[in-house]
């Protein structure tokens, strides 16, 4: 009784593994490139926040003078 060759299963698994690896690698590379070289514009977000000077100012400087 002969054992069937398993080359088809190995080839299919190899193709699946390589395609997943290249897909994840390309996606990770794109995300790294986007985060490193094309920073998103967050000026509209930061303009709505109070400035750092107001956050760390002593309380007596924050009160308005009459």
pLDDT at 30: 92
The larger pLDDT score, comparing residue 19 to residue 14, is at 19
User: Exposed (0-12), middle (13-18) or buried (19+): which is 23, by Cβ within 10 Å?
Assistant: exposed
| Local confidence band at 22 (pLDDT 50, 70, 90 cut-offs) | very high
The tens digit of pLDDT for each residue in 40-55 reads: 555 555 555 566 666 6
* pLDDT of 26 above 90: yes
- Give the number of other CB atoms < 10 A from CB of residue 24: 10
The larger pLDDT score, comparing residue 6 to residue 14, is at 14
Please compute, for residue 10, the number of CA atoms within 13 A of its CA located in the half-sphere on the CB side. 4
Predicted TM-score (pTM) of the model is: 0.47
- Interior/surface letters 40-54, b for 16+ CB within 10 angstroms, e for the rest: eeeeeeeeeeeeeee
């Amino acid at each position: 009784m002969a054992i069937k060759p398993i080359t088809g299963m190995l080839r299919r698994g190899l193709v699946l593994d390589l395609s997943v690896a290249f897909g994840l690698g390309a996606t990770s590379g794109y995300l790294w490139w986007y985060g490193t070289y094309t920073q998103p514009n967050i000026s509209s977000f930061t303009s709505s926040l109070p400035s750092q000077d107001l956050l760390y100012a002593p309380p007596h400087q924050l009160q308005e003078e009459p």
